[in-house]
Amino acid sequence: MSNIKPISAEFPFESNFQEILNSKMHYIDEGDKNSKHTFLLLHGNPTSSYLWRNIIPHLSPLGRVVAPDLIGMGKSDKPDIDYTFKDHIEYLDALIEKLALKDIILVIQDWGSGLGFNYANKHRENIKGIVFFEAIVQVSYWKDMSEEVAGVFQKFRDPKEGYEMIVKNNFFIEAMLPMGAGRELTEEEMNNYRAPYLEEKHRKPLLAWPNQISFDGIPKFTTDIVNSYNEYHKTSAIPKLMFYANSGLIIVPELAQNIRETWKNITSIDLGEGKHYLQESHPHEIGEGIVDWYKDILE
């Protein structure tokens, strides 16, 4: 694996749009449409398909690569909905069905992992592999979090403070993203991430996501889904590849060790230095790691 390849700010992919539940969803569709497998790349909060720009070229020679913008995010429409986990599940499931995606290899991070793990649990016959990092592998408990991180997420979930931080001050884009990138993002990169959320009214999904995280069993909808797919993925024979870093927000080295010991059919790669948005700090290591794993396990 190489650390010397440049990380590009460019997004040289053709935009595609699909009508889903009376709104248009944006997605990138690269590689051979008639390939054996489809790589489905799912982003989380507050990002978009732009997050995958340096990883897509590694995967497109292997098969079809689809990277959607979740509803209300990126270049997808921003309908007047609540943007709950349930809403996102409905839109994503409908998009997968509309595009007739088959024999999927999931590549998932952040809330994209919650959506992907759930889809894999509910549509087991359509998943051939799962690549994940900084992923929602289990429900969370306030007592297990550092005081600093717990304090921030409690503010996010406070109706007044959360609105002020996320909607008024655009905290997820202007603070969380740069802090979690693991390197200094360029102005061009930041402007690409800012573009969908220049108006306050478009930041509704960014505000909704922190309230959908399962902390101490609340909300129940998320808790039930995460517990269900956690149980399934521990024992399923589907090939899995996990990347992790030493300063991750979710998958810290101790949790990575636990996953290695308790999840079936799993390969893991330690990326070393890294934070939450590993696509920004280690895109080529991730891309090359997926290629090697795919050729070894799935090709």
Residues 6+ apart with CB under 8 A from 6: none
- Name the catalytic one among 30, 110, 189, 280: 110
Task: Tell me if residue 88 is catalytic.
Answer: no
Task: Tell me if residue 125 is catalytic.
Answer: no
Phi, psi (rounded to 5 degrees) for 110: 55, -140
Q: Which helix (H) or strand (E) holds 24?
A: strand 23-30
Task: Tell me if residue 134 is catalytic.
Answer: yes
DSSP string, 182-195: SSPPPHHHHHHHHG
- Name the catalytic one among 30, 69, 134, 189: 134
CB atoms within 10 A of CB 61: 12
- Name the catalytic one among 58, 276, 282, 284: 276
User: Rounded to an integer, what distance in angstroms lies between the CA atom of residue 47 and that of residue 206?
Assistant: 9
Q: What's the alpha-carbon Rg for the chain, to the nearest Å?
A: 18
Active-site positions read 110, 134, 276
